[in-house]
Chains A and B, each alone.
Chain A
Amino acid sequence: MHKIWLICKREYLSRVKKKSFLIMTLLSPLLIVFFYGVIFYFSFNQDLEEERKIVLINDQSSVFENNLENTKIINFQYNKLTDSEPKLLLENSGAYGVLTITKKEGSYTYDLLANEQPGLNTLSSIESKLEKVLKNKELEANGIDKKIVNDINAISVKLLTRKNTDDGIEKGNSSTTTIIGFLGAFLIYFFIFLYGVQVMKGVIEEKTNRIVEVLISSVKPFQLMMGKIIGIAMVGITQFVIWVVLVAALSGPVSILVMEMMHVDPSAMIDGKQVAGASQDAGFSEILSSLSGLNIPLLLGLFVFYFIGGYLFYGALFAAVGSAVDNETDTQQFMMPITLPLVFSIAIAQSVINSPNSSLSVWLSMIPFSSPVIMMVRLPFGIPTYQIIASMVCMILGFIATVWFAGRIYRIGILTYGKKPTYKELFMWLFRKN
């Protein structure tokens, strides 16, 4: 045990003391918050960046004349031209484009001549304005009041969900549970990959440097492997805790900052956006209330369990791969079967969210290859206790099995150099005597 502790300590300290660890640990949350801010900023200000454009309307049908609403980025001006003129006018006027509208036998053709290929944003706003004019015209022709149409469009239905449990009826919120579940699943997926690969690289380093020859005379291969896996897990947990704290501490101020940066005066907001803002506030309080409905201690506890269990399960396999090869380029072939179930579980998470209690979902949350990710997705929906216990037992058994399996390969692999072993040889290593 003392040996595992020594190895674990080395793995931990040598990584945590590195400058790159400090930089990555501090920078990552800043980057996450920064990107989050940027996305937030642009999602509310997508038009701000574009210059105002003047589009000349050459309307041969006279239907659109003076009826098009200007948008934030487009000003419409009207000018009837002859066929040969649009090109000339575009060059002389400095307008963004010339839109020629002609009507033939009841259908319109629209031709936009511009100096560049217009962006999707520009196109769709011009199109929607044109459509609006035509629709209004059609409504008027049929004697329907615009107000009625607006009222019809304003109808929207939102289901409130409640869950019947032993303790009574809980208020549920599917979108919140979905987000929490998916977040947990993704974090576990990310963690397993990030640190699993570090275990593998560490093993390869020791092997190619022959450090292992010096160590292995004094420690058992199993101790060396476990020390490394646990040490790197501690690094991951340290990093993760720092991230959570930093992201939590920074997210609030940054959101406020972004709001201010937008210079958006609430009174200047158009009606639609105010409504959207109000419903977002309502959504937020709903999220808070549904969060309180979830069993947070259980969720967190199980998150930590699957976080560690999944990492140990895969970390052992990554260690075995590292021991079997001489350099990183050779790992590809052996990485495939390990990464495939992980990628598969994250890919199938969406359908698990859609039907969290289907038999596929239940089985995937039992098999240790996929259970860390799938269980996280299912948990917020509330699942029977016996399933949780069964899945945890499977996880522990699976972990013991992969550690045994990895240990057998590792003890032979770290001292075998030269040709990359085949799967058949790896299988033989499992049962070979020392």
Chain B
Amino acid sequence: MIIEIENLNKRYQNHIALKDISLSIQKGSIFGLLGPNGAGKTSLIRILTHITEADSGKILFKGEPLNEKHIYKMGYLPEERGLYKKMTVKDQLLYFAEIKGLSNKEAKEKLKYWVDKFEIKDWLGKKVEELSKGMQQKVQFVATVLHEPELIILDEPFSGFDPINAQLLVNEILSLKEKGSTIIFSTHRMDSVELLCDHIALINKAEKVLDGEVNAIQQQYKKNQFELKYQGNPLLSDDYIVVTKSTSKDSANTCIIELKQTMTNNNLIEYLISKQISLISFTENLPSMEEIFIMAVQQKQQIN
């Protein structure tokens, strides 16, 4: 575990930002911090990055209570981006790296790697205000990771990225993970993290609604729903399955089936084949993060 958070509380003058949050984040994983706007994600990040202090609770960084020296092992990309507009890209990146504890020499060496990787060599001497928005985003990302932090915290990293640059960013995040960095991802756009994250935590109104491994959560909330494409006699609902949205086109049928009682996917396929159909495709409809979030919030409200 790189980060362990226990019973964290934070109150601002008029409202509660975090209420009894406990989380743990595995080293080398990508952790998604999900929740709507104003849920408390940024408050949590600000406490992690030492910008503000919690009212109560404990945070451990690799088993030690979080302190200032750990900050140098973190890289933080805030939600609202900002660079010094009148500074050149190079000066800016070196400045941020030095502020985060690198020597000037180290910073220059590390910069070389990222310059090649993001092909920003021609841009180094330009002022930030002369760059396009997408370029500025790249520069800011480099500023976040230049000092090779063990923990990278990205607040809404994809906002403002076009699809091509977003893909570039995804690849970079994955390669950073491969190199052993841990990444915390905070976003309200839950669809963007399903593919990327290993673990997630859902936060709503200052409280943790749910956390765990993405696959396990999806299994937990799955509706046992499958999308089928097949040839043969149309399927009908029976004791085991409910068939909905049945359509047929070009001698192929598609439908969605829901299980009335649980069975493994293997058993289901055997059962379907026994109905004298030939399967073209078989997909389990796992709930999206958004659906899971809504279900989890509703469950929590019912409990309260």
Which residues of chain A have C-beta atoms less than 8 A from B101's C-beta? 218
Most buried by B among A14, A18, A206, A213: A213
CB distance from A122 to the nearest CB of B (A): 52
| Chain B interface size, under 10 / 10 to 19 / 20 to 34 / 35 or more | 20 to 34
**One of B70-78, B199-207, B260-268 contacting the partner:** B70-78
For residue B74, which residues in chain A have a CB less than 8 angstroms away from its CB? Answer: 217
CA distance A105 to B16 in the complex (A): 95
Assess whether B82 is in contact with A211, with CB atoms less than 8 Å apart: yes
> Which residue in B51, B80, B91, B144 is a CB contact (below 8 Å) of A415?
B51
Within 8 A of A (CB), among B72-111: 72, 74, 76, 78-87, 91, 95-96, 98-101
Within 8 A of B (CB), among A5-56: 6-7, 10, 13-14, 18
Residues 41-61 of B contacting A (Cβ, < 8 Å): 46, 49-53
Q: Does A216 contact B (CB under 8 A)?
A: yes
| CB atoms of A209 and B86 under 8 A apart | no
Cβ of A214 under 8 Å from chain B: yes
The answer for the CA separation of A162 and B228 in the assembled complex, in Å, is: 110
Contact (Cβ within 8 A) A210 B81: yes
- Contact count band on A: 20 to 34
Interface check B5, CB cutoff 8 A: no
- Chief secondary structure at chain A's binding surface: helix
List A residues 377-434 near B (Cβ within 8 Å).
Answer: 415, 434
Q: Are B53 and A214 in contact (CB under 8 A)?
A: no
What residue in chain A is nearest B78 (Cβ atoms)? A213
Interface: A215 (CB within 8 A): yes
Are A13 and B99 CB-contacts (below 8 A) given A18-B86, A210-B78, A214-B143? no
A208 close to B (CB within 8 Å): yes
Known contacts: A6-B95, A6-B99. The answer to whether A217 contacts B76 by CB under 8 A is: yes
Q: Which one of A6, A209, A415 contacts B83 once the chains associate, using CB atoms below 8 Å? A: A209
Known: A3-B99, A210-B82, A219-B99. A14 touches B49 (CB 8 A): no
Closest to B98 in A: A6
In the bound complex, CA of A223 to CA of B304 (Å): 46
Q: Which residue of A lies closest to B153 (CB)?
A: A217
Interchain CA distance A373-B79 in the complex, whole Å: 45
Q: Which of B72, B86, B96 contacts A214 (CB 8 A)?
A: B96
**In chain B between 131 and 156, which residues have their CB closer than 8 angstroms to a CB of chain A?**
143-144
Q: How far is the CA of A13 from the CA of B92 in the complex (A)?
A: 12
Question: Is the beta-carbon distance between B84 and A215 smaller than 8 angstroms?
Answer: no
Q: Name B84's contact: one of A14, A217, A218 (CB within 8 Å).
A: A14
CB–CB B99/A215 < 8 A: yes
A6 and B52 alpha carbons, distance in the complex (Å) = 23
Measured between alpha carbons, how far is A180 from B222 in the docked complex, in Å? 85
Q: Are A214 and B76 in contact (CB under 8 A)?
A: yes
A205 at the interface (CB under 8 A from B): yes
A218 to B72, Cβ gap below 8 A?
yes
Q: How many angstroms from the CA of A13 to the CA of B82 in the assembled complex?
A: 19
Contacts of B87 in A (CB 8 A): 10, 14
Q: Point out which of A14, A210, A217 has the most chain B C-beta atoms below 10 A from its C-beta.
A: A217
The CA-CA distance from A6 to B98 in the complex, in Å, is 8
Can you name the residue of chain A whose Cβ is closest to the Cβ of B55?
Answer: A433
When chains A and B are docked, how far (Å) is the Cα of A216 from the Cα of B76? 11
Residues of B within 8 A of A14 (CB): 84, 86-87, 91
Write out the residue numbers on chain B whose beta carbons fall within 8 Å of the beta carbon of A208. Answer: 82
Given known A-B contacts A6-B95, A13-B91, A14-B91, A216 and B51 have beta carbons under 8 A apart: yes
> Which of A18, A209, A217 is B50 in contact with, Cβ under 8 Å?
A217
CB distance from A216 to the nearest CB of B (A): 5
Residues of A within 8 A of B50 (CB): 217
Residue of A nearest to B147 (CB): A218
Shortest Cβ distance from residue A159 to the other chain B in the assembled complex, whole angstroms: 55
A residues lining the B interface (CB < 8 Å): 3, 6-7, 10, 13-14, 18, 205-206, 208-211, 213-219, 415, 434
20 contacts between A and B (CB under 8 A): A6-B98, A7-B99, A13-B91, A14-B86, A14-B87, A209-B84, A210-B79, A210-B80, A210-B82, A213-B76, A214-B82, A214-B143, A216-B51, A217-B50, A217-B51, A217-B71, A217-B76, A218-B101, A415-B52, A434-B53
